[in-house]
Structure 1
Amino acid sequence: MTARPTGADRADLIADAALALLAERGMRGLTHRAVDERAGLPQGSTSNHARTRQSLLEAAVRRLAEREARVLLPGTLPAGDGGGGPGSGDGLVAALAHALHRYLAHHRELLVCRYELALEATRRPELRSFYDATGLRFRAPLVAMMTAAGSPEPERHALSVVAWCEGLMFSCAAGSYHRSVPSEAELRTGFEELLRGLLGHPPAPGAARRTGARS
């Protein structure tokens, strides 16, 4: 007989089930009972772990950030095959394009969850604070990336990169491009154009290495 997960494993199982329900059924489909059923846990297990809807939503936000970090944070990015090593400007562009393509092509359900939770946060001030605080883990690495790339205004340029990526992700997840995810090569060209436009020059050599990207 398979042992039931406990502790952190059970918390992850519950949060993953919550994310799966958000992606499939939307916010109305996220209930404690539905999470129990999806996770294959005895009735009441989710309520014991997250007694209120707020705590269940917070668990989903926390787990979403953990799973997105595996795909998107600079320290997890491979160099890609763009012709430059991870320490070159080309390597940085290739790494970013690889990560974004991986997200769009293989983790679209996480994008749907992101938008479901972001919209819910606009209606729940207590979730808004938690959502924003959790999202801060992505800001510092991006600002560091822009600094290493030679940006004279890394905070502002980081916002521009976020806006460009967010627009593309929404278009591919829920907008008019949901049936046609850009290729990795197309994304690489897009990042090259974006960074050249922001910086006035290609990313500085060594930018990917200094932000922690690895092959």
Structure 2
Amino acid sequence: MSTERLSAIADAGLRLIAREGLRGLTHRAVDAEVGLPAGSTSYYFRKRDDLVTACVRRLVEIDLLEIAATGIADRAMTADQLADMGADLMWHWITVDAHRHLARYELLLHSRRRPELAAELLDAGDRLRVAMAAMLETQNCAQPASTAAWFVSCIDGVVLDQLTGPGQRRMSRSDLRAFAITLVRAALADPDGR
């Protein structure tokens, strides 16, 4: 089984979900999106639910790779450096990588009716919060685990709003930077005032 081919199938699935919703995610549509011979996707993922799960796992894989690529968990940074990095990521997510995040929200809504998918997404969210907590701990955050929970939720809320808000003015890179510095300062503040 080619990891490259499986990633290409899941990536195509994410694009389809973002463009057409989950109704557009079929084995045949993925084959066409990737440019594979008919039946290729169903060879790797017999059931549609398996294909949906592969898309969820690919989302998490890419998220964790993005966090690791920043090197943010490896060294302490200033609040300004963290805000720049956060603004860059959010800008990337609402422009270049918008399809991936639109697919994420579609999958989250779908999971309300699919307990097995909800469990997969919960596990994925937990892994992201653990990675964020590790990053915050490296940045000397006083309460990294609890801070990671609201930190991730705030970022997710901005990205969701920017991708789906009706008539919403898109935030500029500098708007995102202003949001990010406020968020970073709140995350790194010592709640006990020390």
Which amino acid is the alignment partner of residue 193 of structure 1?
Answer: T
TM-score computed with the length of structure 1 as normaliser: 0.77
**CA offset at residue 129 of structure 1?**
1.2
Question: Structure 1: which 5+ residue stretches go unaligned?
Answer: 1-5, 80-84, 202-215
Distance 1:134 1:194 in 2: 23
Distance 2:39 2:21 in 1: 21
Match of 2:69 in 1: 76
Superposed, 1:116-135 pairs within 5 Å as: 116-135=106-125
Match of 1:197 in 2: 186
Alpha carbon RMSD of aligned pairs, Å?
A: 2.3
Structure 1 residue aligned with 2:21, among 17, 26, 30?
26
What SS does structure 1 have at the residue aligned with 2:95? Answer: helix
**CA offset at residue 100 of structure 1?**
1.7
Q: Deviations over 1:81-136 (max 9, x none)?
A: xxxx9733322222222222222221111111001111111111111112222333
Question: Structure 2: which 5+ residue stretches go unaligned?
Answer: none
Distance 2:25 2:135 in 1: 36
Match of 1:114 in 2: 104
Superposed, 1:22-171 pairs within 5 Å as: 22-71=17-66, 73=67, 75-77=68-70, 87-171=77-161
Distance 1:98 1:78 in 2: 14
**CA offset at residue 168 of structure 1?**
0.3
Q: Deviations over 1:10-60 (max 9, x none)?
A: 212211221111111111111112112222222221111111111010111
Moved over 6 A (4+): none
Residue pair 2:16, 2:30 contacting (<8 A) in 1 also: yes
Residue pair 1:93, 1:191 contacting (<8 A) in 2 also: yes
Residue pair 1:77, 1:96 contacting (<8 A) in 2 also: no
Match of 1:207 in 2: none
Greater Cα radius of gyration, structure 1 or 2: 1
TM-score computed with the length of structure 2 as normaliser: 0.85
